[in-house]
């Protein structure tokens, strides 16, 4: 997978320091989980969409779309291992296997990020094997780790959308909703950046945000 050489920030900081865009202007009021009122009107302002090489992002933690063996591979997983250096693989070998739907954390090694959260998403098998539930769980577990480390800023790739063949539209919808729900109940991470490796992936994420906020006439189910 060819990664962008530099981040193309499509949602940027306002002077006040908040992430803001026309898509991220409000939160749908009929969602299943509206926890603390202090988050209700600002949860989406804590999210951003970027087209970027995730290995270069200046955040506290990046999420790796890992395999269960935690041994590196293709796509973003291989890119992160290559950028972090051999110490990452050595640390991962001491952790054993990580089943789909779960995540573990390591140091950032040669990356700018202090932490790497290795999240193992499901392999798409047609949609009848619980893949969507596993992907939701993967995002929740990675977010829980980012909260508990704790970190203020974390960047996610499009988990399972490469070699694991998860349909990008469905995966984007799951990612946006799980992140929004988690942020509505938690102070950390303070900012979540959803990092897209191609413009067409960005378009699906924008569609998912539009659906979430109800601007296309639908609401959070």
pLDDT digits (tens, 9 = 90+) for 23-77: 333 322 333 333 443 334 478 889 999 998 999 999 999 999 999 999 998 899 9
Measured between alpha carbons, how far is 38 from 45 in angstroms, rounded to an integer? 13
Measured between alpha carbons, how far is 112 from 88 in angstroms, rounded to an integer? 13
Closest CA to 24 of 199, 201, 194: 194
In this structure, the chain runs to a length of: 221
Catalytically active residues, by annotation: 77
Measured between alpha carbons, how far is 158 from 166 in angstroms, rounded to an integer? 10
**Segments of 47-93 assigned E as strands:** 47-51, 61-66
Q: What is the pTM of this model?
A: 0.81
The pLDDT of residue 205 is: 96
> Which tokens hold the place of 91?
């640390």
- Domain 8-213 in CATH 3.90.1170.50? The answer is no
């Amino acid at each position: 997978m060819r990664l962008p050489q530099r981040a193309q920030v499509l949602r940027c900081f306002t002077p006040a320091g908040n992430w803001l865009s026309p898509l991220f202007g409000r939160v749908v009021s009929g969602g299943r989980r509206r926890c603390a009122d202090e988050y209700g009107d600002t949860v989406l302002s804590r999210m951003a969409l970027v087209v970027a090489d995730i290995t270069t992002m200046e955040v506290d933690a990046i999420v790796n779309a890992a395999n269960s063996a935690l041994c590196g591979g293709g796509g973003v997983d291989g890119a992160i291992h290559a950028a972090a250096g051999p110490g990452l693989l050595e640390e991962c070998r001491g952790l054993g296997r990580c089943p789909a739907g779960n995540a573990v954390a390591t140091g950032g090694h040669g990356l700018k990020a202090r932490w790497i959260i290795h999240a193992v998403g499901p392999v798409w098998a047609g949609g009848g094997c619980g893949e969507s539930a596993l992907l939701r769980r993967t995002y929740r577990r990675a977010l829980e780790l980012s909260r508990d480390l704790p970190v203020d800023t974390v960047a996610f790739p499009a988990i399972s959308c490469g070699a694991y063949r998860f349909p990008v539209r469905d995966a984007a919808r799951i990612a946006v909703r799980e992140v929004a729900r988690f942020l509505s109940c938690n102070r950390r991470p303070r900012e979540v950046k959803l990092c897209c490796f191609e413009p067409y992936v960005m378009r699906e994420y924008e569609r998912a945000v539009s659906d979430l906020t109800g601007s296309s006439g639908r609401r959070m189910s």
